Structure 1
Amino acid sequence: MAIINGLIGDFGKYHLWLCFIIFPNKLGAAFHQMSIIFLAPPPVYYCPNNKSCCDEPVYDKSQYKRTIVMEWNLICGNAWLKDLTQMAFQFGVLSGSLLFGIASDKYGRRPALIVSIVLEVFSGIVTSFLPDFWSFTIVRMFLGASVGGVMVVGFVIVMEYVGKCRDMVAAAYHVPFTVGYMLLALFGYYIRDYVILQLSISLVNIVLLVYICILPESPRWLLAKQKTTAAIQLLEHVAKINNKPVDEIALKVELYQLEHIRQKRGSFIDLFRTPNLRKNILVMSFTWLVCSYCFYGVTYYISHLAGDVYVNVIASGTVIFMSCFIAMPLIKFMKRRTLLVMSHVLSGFCLLTIAVMPVGRISVGFGCLGLLFTQMVFIISYLYCSEMFPTVVHNAAVGICSMMARLGSMLAPFVADFGEFGEWCPPVAFGIMPIIAAALGLLLPETKDCQLMLTIEEGEAFGRNQSSRRTENNASIGIT
């Protein structure tokens, strides 16, 4: 709906204010997504009679006073349970992304995000006081669902307001997450008890309850749902703040609603009916899976690789933070496919290098570089996926890719613990996947400066005759 940005501008004072209130919710998302690093760090313990496993181990509490591993003896035969709790959390993120995405389409972006925030605060606090592993894991799964809703719906709201500079705003949207990841190291450093840590990172999010009073609805959603009067009032309010004329907003919106022909929506099945679209969605789905698999797995792995865990987290967080700003100019000037394949190859090379060198600062450095390129793949994938598929199946395509990303994050903790089979196992298991994804990425069409598609027919033909489709066009991206 280009009419909206024609009336309120592409990026003005109101857009800046909206980013200011929406972006901080990514801090809480990072706290909960990455908190497993300090909730369940590798334990140091010994058993009576020099046994390797026992029912009542004595834990070394010089670094951590209490973790979920110590609390419920998640060692030896039960060690897999600490990975299960993170897998359940990521399954919650997957479910929340889908359910709150559907709810935001049906009931509105504003109520969906508010419910997500309320659930995040409530479930986060409750998780802090649960007495046993299974209740902790189940409630934390609901916490994951709220995090999925917060990330997805918040992104949707911002993208549905912003105009031509969406690619830059989309890249900037990842910045608060990396800041939250680095701040988590400070929480973990000063709070060595998992109960207090979980409670602290949950209470921080209470400030987001202000959304109940100040969060606006999406004008695009209002127009799509034929709530024309409410849309006009909102657009006039935004236009005034952005110093845009408001006199003809009502007339233009009403004429648009009368003239607009509703495009028939496609479904996820349409993505698999024809060979070209099927190839594109399968390759992109694998790309998203590899991104999430490497990002969450490697962050957990290198945080405990060598040296001080807090320094490692801040170092890797700083590198990921830098990747957001490195990606911005590259997205503007480089081709999508070239940037995607290059980032995958460099990520895989860095991770595989860890396997052949001794554990130490250099291996941590290569791990951080691997994360930098993995994060760049994440950023370009959001944009690339949205340009590659026609409007009628855009949401379905992003939804499928998002599901695959969550599947990757569910597998990651188990792979990160492959170190018990050999120090080389985790970096090899992580490093091979980006190389495979890079090879498959060569099969994708180039989308930079190409006109966005509307129909399934255009999507199926896309990539076969790109030379006839080149045009100056600003990318439009969104996620539901």
Structure 2
Amino acid sequence: MFILSNLYQYIWGSSKKQSDLILDITGSFGRYQLWLFILVCLTKIPVAFHQLAIIFLAPPTQFVCKSTGILNGCPCDDPIFDTRIFTRTIITEFKLICHKKWLTSFSQLAFQAGTLVGSIIFGELADKFGRRIPLIGACILQFVCALTAAYVHTFELFTIFRFGIGISVGGTMVISFVILMEFIGPGHREIFSALYQAAFNLSSMALPLVAYYNRDYKRYQMVITLTTLLCLIYFYSLPETPRWLIAKGKTERAIKILQHVAKVNKRPVENVRANVEAYQHAASKSKVNKGSTADLFKTPNLRTRILAMAFNWLTCSYCYYGVAQYVGQLSGNIFLNVAGSSGSVLCGTLLSIPMMKMMGRKTILLICHFICSSCLIILAFSEGVVSLVCATVGVVTSFIVFVVVYLVCCELFPTVVRNCAVGLSSMSARIGSMVAPFVLDLKDIHPSLTPLTFALIPFLAFFITLLLPETKGCELTNTLEEGEKAFTKPATKLVTKPSK
């Protein structure tokens, strides 16, 4: 009844227009924001490549034991690998078979653990030292670690550098999206938050093509690493965000950037300095220019929101990576399977654009969690085409949640802790992606146990999402005080009638 009574409000969101100093100066969207969007999307190419690289670094590999002649027989000290599809993989290079087979999953676990660490580290760095320098640093770290991983000769070193790549990927994902959202107005956030994720989907679809023409894992690793060089343009083209500069009291730098953006977007620049200085003077009285992850837990509203957001991120990552891998166990051409899976997710990403325009953020999360959980429950008791359709819908709805939670997280939290919030939420997502492979192993106990376990988390997320406010069309807050008071209704004063 609670959901039904509030569904109309959730679907249409807020139509109230609010004033925003930054957007009043730069405009909600213009030529500058379009150029910035293209710049930011460059990070998604290497991010997608490295996140899904393990599929072609360690594809299913057959071998014959030379001493016994048994196919895939264990133990085996002298394997002869089938190199007809892939000439060299980390499995053939480091002989990750039999008692070493689990090391393949451990390599991916190390990558996801690195992404978790990077989300927190770079989230903190970006809120303390700005968005620009940490993002460039993450790109440099990514290039160095990824290139080195292509030349090391031991599995231990390869895994260590995969961990380093994960740290850099966590940093680029967190910071790049925050930069984009801090420049774009509420009316355009939906479409560009979705297109930002569509860049990931397109890169995922391109990865099988890269692997098809580079079937030696060292060459493959080097080719996907070279895409990071596209981010060299950030050294002279990537701006610091005026929101962060103003929140940190760096008024002069903020004014110069805002004047430049206003000129590019053909907006007036005469009153930029006066407006920014007036706002900065008013904000300085509150003395809240510093923020950290701990600040997210000090006040009740922010604490509730970060915990609910973290669980949403964990849910979508847990289901997306887990169920996608569940679908990936189907037989067939590995290159076509990966491309087809990425294509279906791209359709879901594009579908999220009209959904976010027509519906509230909260409603989309509720609907997707419900559909995902329902399909996974059906999957546990179905076979054939029905099971394939249910699993695919589960993957697509999970990724739609991914698109929406990125946007909601930026809208919920103030500038001084926005990167910390996204970083902490992204950390939760990595926990979900690390747990997912172990859930797949439950099928050995009972076939229906895996989909039912996957269904449980989005079922819980449905109810936890009810704790979140609707953020559609909201003004981005800057200080902790603004963030705590946002989305709350003012207390109604009781009027007592005078006694007669």
TM-score for the superposition, normalised by structure 2? 0.84
1:351 aligns with 2:399: no
Which stretches in structure 2 are left out of the alignment for 5+ residues? 1-18, 493-500
Contact 2:123–2:420 under 8 Å retained in 1: no
- Tell me, what secondary structure is at the counterpart of 1:58? strand
1:58 aligns with 2:76: no
1:75 aligns with 2:97: yes
Contact 1:277–1:460 under 8 Å retained in 2: no
**Partner of 1:192 in structure 2?**
215
**Partner of 1:222 in structure 2?**
245
**Partner of 2:435 in structure 1?**
411
Aligned-pair CA distance for 1:256: 2.4
* Pairs aligned (count): 466
**Counterpart mapping for 1:6-405 below 5 A:** 6-47=24-65, 48-49=67-68, 50=70, 51-164=73-186, 165-261=188-284, 262=286, 264=288, 268=293, 279-358=304-383, 363-388=387-412, 396-405=420-429
1:160-214 Cα shifts (integer Å, max 9, x gaps): 2112222332222111111111111111222222111111100122122121122
Identity of aligned residues (%): 42
Query: Alpha carbons of 1:229 and 1:445: their partners in 2 closer, same or farther (altered >3 Å)?
Result: closer
Q: Counterpart of 1:367 in structure 2: which amino acid?
A: A
Contact 1:320–1:372 under 8 Å retained in 2: yes
Query: Alpha carbons of 1:331 and 1:155: their partners in 2 closer, same or farther (altered >3 Å)?
Result: same
TM-score for the superposition, normalised by structure 1? 0.87
Q: Distance in 1 between matches of 2:204 and 2:399?
A: 13
Q: Distance in 1 between matches of 2:194 and 2:94?
A: 40
Greater mean deviation of Cα atoms: 344-353 or 130-139? 344-353
Aligned-pair CA distance for 1:297: 2.4
Greater mean deviation of Cα atoms: 361-370 or 335-344? 361-370
Contact 2:377–2:452 under 8 Å retained in 1: yes
Contact 1:275–1:460 under 8 Å retained in 2: no
Query: Alpha carbons of 1:343 and 1:86: their partners in 2 closer, same or farther (altered >3 Å)?
Result: same
Higher relative CO (Cα under 8 Å, sequence separation at least 6) belongs to 2
Aligned-pair CA distance for 1:40: 1.4
Greater mean deviation of Cα atoms: 207-216 or 296-305? 296-305
1:431 aligns with one of 449, 455, 471: 455
Query: Alpha carbons of 1:325 and 1:111: their partners in 2 closer, same or farther (altered >3 Å)?
Result: same
Aligned-pair CA distance for 1:275: 6.7
Contact 1:129–1:195 under 8 Å retained in 2: yes
1:8-41 Cα shifts (integer Å, max 9, x gaps): 1110001101111111211110000111111112
Aligned-pair CA distance for 1:3: 1.4
Query: Alpha carbons of 1:44 and 1:429: their partners in 2 closer, same or farther (altered >3 Å)?
Result: farther
Greater mean deviation of Cα atoms: 162-171 or 142-151? 162-171
1:369-399 Cα shifts (integer Å, max 9, x gaps): 2111001111222333445567776555444
1:46-68 Cα shifts (integer Å, max 9, x gaps): 33433433222232222222211
Contact 2:178–2:419 under 8 Å retained in 1: no
Aligned-pair CA distance for 1:223: 2.3
Aligned-pair CA distance for 1:128: 0.7
Q: Counterpart of 1:10 in structure 2: which amino acid?
A: S
Q: Distance in 2 between matches of 1:404 and 1:71?
A: 33
Greater mean deviation of Cα atoms: 6-15 or 384-393? 384-393
**Counterpart mapping for 1:432-451 below 5 A:** 432-448=456-472
Q: Distance in 2 between matches of 1:275 and 1:410?
A: 30
Q: Distance in 2 between matches of 1:391 and 1:241?
A: 24
Aligned-pair RMSD on alpha carbons? 3.0
Q: Distance in 2 between matches of 1:205 and 1:273?
A: 38
Greater mean deviation of Cα atoms: 246-255 or 350-359? 350-359
Q: Distance in 1 between matches of 2:366 and 2:141?
A: 38
Aligned-pair CA distance for 1:240: 1.1
Which stretches in structure 1 are left out of the alignment for 5+ residues? 469-480
**Partner of 1:473 in structure 2?**
none
1:332-373 Cα shifts (integer Å, max 9, x gaps): 3223333212211222333344444446x6644433221110
Contact 1:274–1:460 under 8 Å retained in 2: no
Q: Counterpart of 1:96 in structure 2: which amino acid?
A: G
Aligned-pair CA distance for 1:126: 0.8
